[in-house]
A and B are shown apart, each in its own frame.
Chain A
Amino acid sequence: MLRTLTVLCALLAPLARAVFLDEAYKIDFHHPLLGLPLEPATFFQQPQPDSKASLIYTLSEKSVVGAVNPKDGTLVWRQALDGTESSHNVLLRPGDGQEAILGARNNIVTAWHAGNGRILWEQKLDQGLVLDVRWTQLPTQSSARSRNDILVLVRDSAGLLLKRLDGTSGKSTKRLSIKTQNVNRSAPELP
């Protein structure tokens, strides 16, 4: 009887093995990092157009998109982009006045909310590689839209494709297929 009791008590001991509340941030340390920021993809932007506060947005060499608070250097939000080993062919664009950050990698175009990093919309193109993505600056036709349109340049098996996406929903509104005659098929050697 006593033996089973002692055994039960011994088995209960492992339950006490945990990180205690008063030790939680004292015995451990954590550096939430992004990776070295890429120069063309680092910028200050105001997450809300009406307030003056701005955050530093960046895309790092490790393909992590994030926002840093310039007051104290803490991370506001970050997203690790899957499917990209390195930061080749990953683009990040500021969206001033749009409350959004635009990014593209491989065949996916994503828009994140500038304040909290949540995905507003994500468009996966059928095939191909996104070469460039830009916000347009032509005045929008209807005032109901809160964001400008987005132009996406894609290279797929048929040639170049120019797509127009709606800034609020990400849906493709127009597509234009460009057949270029002198497209250099082999990868150019960059000395």
Chain B
Amino acid sequence: MHADSQYSDELTFLSTSASGEYVVSVESASRDQPYNIKVARVAADTLEEIALDGPTGIAFPKDLLYVGSNTDLPVIVWTNQLHNLLYINIVGTSSIATFDVEKSSEIDTIKIHAPTHSTRSAHFLIQYQSDTSDWAEVFHVDSESSIVQKVFAVPAVAGRAAFSISTTESGIYFTRFTGNQISIFSSSSSKSIGDWSFPKVNNADEREEYFPVHAQSEVLVRNGGAPVIRSVVLLSNGDWTLIKNGEASWYRPESLAGIVAAEFVDLEEAQPLIHELEIEEQTNFISSFVHRLVRHVHTLSRLAVKLGGFKGMTMAEILAFGIGRKSDAETNRVFGFGKTVVVATENGRLIGLDTGNHGVPVFNIKAANLGADERWTAQAVGSISARLAEMSAIVVKDGIIGTTDPTISSNFTLSASLKSTSNGQTELTTYGIENEVLQGRRDGQLTWQFVPQPSQRIHSVTASVKDEPVASIGKVLGDRRVLYKYQNPNAILVITTNGNAGTIAVHLLDATSGVVLYASQHGGVETSRPIAAVISENWFAYSFTTDSIDEAVSKGYQLVVSELYESELPNDRGPLGANASFSSLRPTVDATQPSKPHVIRQIFHLPEEIGTMAVTQTSQGITSRDLLVGLPGTSAIVAIPRLAVDPRRLVGKDPTPGQMEEGLTRYSPMIDFDPKWHLTHRLEVMGVRKIIAAPATLESTSLVFAYGVDVFGTRVAPSFAFDVLGGSFNKLQLVLTVVALTLGAFVVAPLVQRKQTNALWQSL
């Protein structure tokens, strides 16, 4: 409620003006007494208290509504316990003016809008907000007599309103913004001197009534002319917009700075063809045949239109070589570049960003009702669910937003859920942290627990991306032998930290059975710094900051990359052999031990700290993967090629030709971020908290989205864009060459024929 001091937990304020400097404080007389407001003037060596004649007791500290400053006659405004009386004191004087508050029982908030520069006239406005309406009163302070008077009242308006004050040379003007209207009036009379209807701001949902939260304006009033005003208004949907004379000029989607969860969602309808084929599969033979015939007839009818379109499209493509890859909507749709990212923001909104069109928000929906200072703690969006603090779920599916009831107990934090298949049936195991212990449950029953050591606490639990495609079951070595990958889609990486001793322990668990597949620990770690982790197909990586105490030899940033294989010998399938399936729940090796992977690990030093990590995703997993890292220190995002952080890099010797074919290089402990790896070229992406990646339709490309304070999205082609013709491909030359060769063939063929016939005659 303090209009001019932000969220200060302390109760002492400064007030400066041309007449002096003052300290205004709220102190409690004793433990039981309510608080007292005291004003003291700053003199040369001491504070001289100014005795106020009038009631200065307040019930709560927030009842001191406003302390003005930096203007000619700053005022202090406070209210009594019942909130039906307002007290106003001009700082530096001792008299207190009292005013009644109308409808005090309905009032939610009282805001004061007063000048903050030197003005000729000391006028201010007090705004009253209730659930249903907003109204205001304008007060004048007479500079000679130092008397505060209520001059007029601004009529009430239904709904929420925002007021702004503008101090100009010709006087003070107040502007009122409601959901429908903007009106300006001067501080001397309530008659409005300018009226506009509130403009529609881009991408705002028409179904929702959004209202202005707060506004600041600049007014220019020419003599006898209409006022010119530009104001910057924060709307309830999180957009910060500039309105100039009743027209919306620009808007900034500032609520995107508080994204809590994001997901790439394919909002286009499921391919109609797939739907039709499914129908045909399920009906009987005759009707599916008839259905297919009908479908083909429909497709034929559209053929004529398509053929007509071909001509224009081909001419445009052929003649447009060298201009560069066109990124229009059609290309995006065909290649899958234009996916929508649905984000859940802190202020309870779901916003969709179109990545194919410069990340412009396409919809902005209110998803949660939050209180004034509440934050939405959604954990995931998209195919799983977004969880709210009060444990109800929102499912975004086929572009429909709905709410469902919770099915899991209220103090169970859902991390993710994994499938395990046994006997052909799929069972779902969910795991989460409860009371500092990682637990796995199936059908609500506790099936396994992972308890960290007494001095350690769980720092993070990381799982691989759901349904990640893996293209090959093994890694082919240079001599054509195969190292078989240990692939367990249910593996999760658990990192626990011990802050006092500076150690971290890393465990790889199978989330369906809770078995520890691999464990490792590191000493000399600075546990208050970010520890990022990622796990993908058969490898995982984590990074941390080392501290140079005792054990660690150097202070720096380290990246640990580990790969899992079935066995350390190439061409060996390991303990599972060539079995078609494996069971996480029933141990296989000598009936007591589950099969554990062979881990090859390597540690690299980094030039700077990594804040978050992700791995690029492609639709079939053939393309090699890049490790995407967010660097908070330089506000950049870097894509490290997998080969640069391969744990099998050779230590101490050069690679043989066979190993060079694999792509292995000699190990060097330092990884310098090659400038070409930076995805954020000249951009400064501030405060990256999380990066997500999703496949595009093209196999070579992965879509990347990063959020934090800034929002950034791009496409990455880790193995170079091998399935797309580059923009500089000369299609015109190709076509001309083919045409020339065809013509040449037609011209030359009869000549050759005649020559052959003549040769036959001559050989007789």
The reply to whether A182 and B27 form a contact with Cβ atoms under 8 Å apart is yes
Q: A17-B641, A27-B327 are in contact. Are A132 and B13 (CB under 8 A)?
A: yes
The reply to whether A134 and B70 form a contact with Cβ atoms under 8 Å apart is yes
**B28 CB contacts on chain A under 8 angstroms:** 182, 184, 188
Q: Which of B69, B683, B709, B720 contacts A33 (CB 8 A)?
A: B709
Q: Which residue of A lies closest to B251 (CB)?
A: A73
Q: Which of A28, A91, A132 contacts B713 (CB 8 A)?
A: A28
Interface window among A35-43, A106-114, A119-127, A165-173: A35-43
Q: Which of A17, A91, A129 contacts B5 (CB 8 A)?
A: A91
The answer to whether B61 has its CB under 8 Å from any CB of chain A is: yes
The reply to whether B15 and A32 form a contact with Cβ atoms under 8 Å apart is no
**Cα(A15)–Cα(B14), bound, Å:** 60
Q: Which of B6, B17, B21, B253 contacts A40 (CB 8 A)?
A: B6
**B686 CB contacts on chain A under 8 angstroms:** 32, 64, 78, 80
The reply to whether B232 and A134 form a contact with Cβ atoms under 8 Å apart is no
The answer to whether B53 has its CB under 8 Å from any CB of chain A is: no
Question: How many B residues have CB within 8 A of the partner chain?
Answer: 95
Q: Which residue of B lies closest to A73 (CB)?
A: B250
The answer to whether B717 has its CB under 8 Å from any CB of chain A is: yes
The reply to whether B61 and A136 form a contact with Cβ atoms under 8 Å apart is no
Q: Which residue of B lies closest to A135 (CB)?
A: B70
**B216 CB contacts on chain A under 8 angstroms:** 42-44, 56
Interface window among B39-47, B148-156, B729-737: B39-47
Q: Which of A32, A40, A78, A131 contacts B12 (CB 8 A)?
A: A131
Closest-CB distance, B501 to chain A (whole angstroms):
26
The reply to whether B13 and A40 form a contact with Cβ atoms under 8 Å apart is no
**A41 CB contacts on chain B under 8 angstroms:** 6
Q: Which of A27, A31, A72, A187 contacts B9 (CB 8 A)?
A: A187
**Cα(A32)–Cα(B13), bound, Å:** 34
Closest-CB distance, B580 to chain A (whole angstroms):
35
The answer to whether A158 has its CB under 8 Å from any CB of chain B is: no
The answer to whether A62 has its CB under 8 Å from any CB of chain B is: yes
The answer to whether B324 has its CB under 8 Å from any CB of chain A is: yes
Q: Which of A22, A87, A96, A137 contacts B17 (CB 8 A)?
A: A137
Interface window among B254-262, B455-463, B519-527, B561-569: B254-262
Q: Which residue of B lies closest to A93 (CB)?
A: B70
Task: Find residues 135-160 in chain A having any chain B CB closer than 8 Å to their own CB.
Answer: 135-138, 151, 153, 155, 160
Indicate with 1 or 0, residue by residue over A88-109, a CB within 8 angstroms of chain B CB atoms. Answer: 1111101010000000000000
The answer to whether B679 has its CB under 8 Å from any CB of chain A is: yes
The reply to whether B14 and A183 form a contact with Cβ atoms under 8 Å apart is no
The answer to whether B482 has its CB under 8 Å from any CB of chain A is: no
The reply to whether B5 and A132 form a contact with Cβ atoms under 8 Å apart is yes
Closest 8 CB pairs of A and B: A28-B714, A73-B250, A29-B359, A18-B676, A35-B257, A39-B214, A33-B257, A31-B711
For this complex, 26 residue pairs linking A to B, each with C-beta atoms less than 8 Å apart, are: A10-B663, A14-B641, A18-B676, A19-B676, A24-B681, A27-B327, A27-B714, A28-B713, A33-B710, A33-B711, A34-B254, A36-B255, A38-B6, A39-B3, A40-B6, A70-B230, A73-B242, A88-B7, A92-B6, A96-B117, A132-B13, A137-B16, A137-B118, A153-B12, A184-B27, A188-B61
| B contacts, CB < 8 Å to A | 2-18, 20-21, 23, 25, 27-29, 35, 42, 45-47, 60-62, 69-70, 116-118, 213-214, 216-218, 230, 232, 234, 238, 240, 242, 249-258, 324-325, 327, 337, 347, 355, 358-359, 641, 643, 657, 660-661, 663, 676-687, 709-715, 717-718, 720, 727
